[in-house]
Amino acid sequence: MTIPTKPIFFVLLISFSVIKNYAQTISLKDAYKNSFMIGTALNASQIEERDSNAAKIITHEFNAITPENSMKCEVIHPSWNTYHFEQADKLIAYGNKNKIPIMGHTLVWHSQLSGFVKNIQSADSLSLFLDQHISTIAARYDGKIFSWDVVNEALNEDGSMRNSIFLQKLGPNYVVDAFRIAQKAAPKTELYYNDYNIEQPQKRAGAINLIKKIQAAGVRIDGVGIQGHWQLGHVPFKDIEESIEAFSKLGIKVMFTELDLTVLPNPWDVTTADVNMKAENNAYFNPYPTGLPDSVEQMFTKDYVQLFALFQKHKKDVFRVTFWGVHDKQSWLNNWPIFGRTNYPLLFDRNYQPKEAYYKLISITK
């Protein structure tokens, strides 16, 4: 046996101590069990347990799972009267086997719509689609999943209704109609409105109006999901706190449903999660292709700690916090708004190792 040279010896020592610490650490879900659920989004390979490293993290850390894409229209309902339930059914089986509640995502969204929906011309046909799509899918999974994001991203930044195909053809009441259809098809499933930037005052006011409108129509809405795609150094803590207070006053659950913190420069002045906005890659916009500098990692830890301290402060009203992915390598933020960057937005790194922020989020609960 050769004696390891010093650097290798230290690398081994450090990695053993990280593994040892991780094995000894209680999980996120246990650390926060008296506060709120801790969830993650799963991609298709994770649902099918083809990602064995992620599989261990998922069952150890999380007590809520959201399909990142498997229940979206283009996957589950590719053409009129044709449904592909395979991926969603696998998710149900995975949730049952591991006893993890499933948060359905999403029934009505202008993005990732199937081609046939985009080509619908008449209001009558679109209304038929809305009814059939929601009734069929929501009824199939009623009692099998915990909740649905019934409508996703129906608002503009100024709080007005987004000019989607649904608004254009059906008018602003389509949101109330969607919840009405869902409540009939899925009496045992919680029903939520989900959107990004609704912590920001103008858009928040729009969301509050929308929720009040659903309630005034006598239709059930159980919660609101603030997505939480935020940027390092610019987390809007004050807006987040005011939103928890304002939304919970409506008598509904408040959740953070797609949490991640991008550490990369933003090509625009605005914070957005609009998947239609894209920019070109270059070295300026991809500054950390081989690793995150310590100084940035420290800011990252600090922002996450401040955020979870805020969630903890409002644990009476915060029902769930879900990360948008298990580890950095799978994050949508590597490819949006610029394709092919190296981003570091989650608590587990590209090698499935927990970051310092992970340990700190657990230690602040003690």
Number of Cβ atoms within 10 Å of the Cβ of 203: 21
Calpha distance 267→247 (Å, rounded):
31
Taking the complex as a whole, the smallest distance from the CB of residue 69 to ligand 9MR amounts, in Å, to 5
Counting contacts by CB under 6 A, is residue 260 touching ligand 9MR? no
Counting contacts by CB under 6 A, is residue 73 touching ligand 9MR? no
Counting contacts by CB under 6 A, is residue 111 touching ligand 9MR? yes
- Indicate which residue of 258, 280, 297, 356 is catalytic: 258
Reply yes or no on whether 258 is catalytic: yes
Calpha distance 163→110 (Å, rounded):
9
Task: Please check whether residue 224 is in contact with residue 179, taking contact to mean a CB–CB distance below 8 angstroms.
Answer: no
Task: Please check whether residue 191 is in contact with residue 220, taking contact to mean a CB–CB distance below 8 angstroms.
Answer: yes
Taking the complex as a whole, the smallest distance from the CB of residue 330 to ligand 9MR amounts, in Å, to 9
- Indicate which residue of 61, 68, 153, 190 is catalytic: 153
Task: Please check whether residue 153 is in contact with residue 101, taking contact to mean a CB–CB distance below 8 angstroms.
Answer: no
Calpha distance 298→123 (Å, rounded):
52
Counting contacts by CB under 6 A, is residue 258 touching ligand 9MR? yes
Which of 137, 107, 105, 348 is CA-nearest to residue 225?
A: 105
Counting contacts by CB under 6 A, is residue 273 touching ligand 9MR? yes
Nearer to ligand 9MR, 26 or 277 (CB): 277
Taking the complex as a whole, the smallest distance from the CB of residue 365 to ligand 9MR amounts, in Å, to 28
Taking the complex as a whole, the smallest distance from the CB of residue 174 to ligand 9MR amounts, in Å, to 18
Binding mask 307-346 for ligand 9MR (x = CB under 6 A): -------------------------x--------------
Among 69, 209, 266, 353, binds ligand 9MR (CB under 6 A): 69
Give the residues across from 193 on adjacent strands. Answer: 151, 224
- Is 297 buried (19+), middle (13-18) or exposed (0-12) by CB count in 10 A? middle
Interacting residues toward ligand 9MR by CB under 6 A: 68-69, 111-112, 152, 227, 258, 273, 275, 332
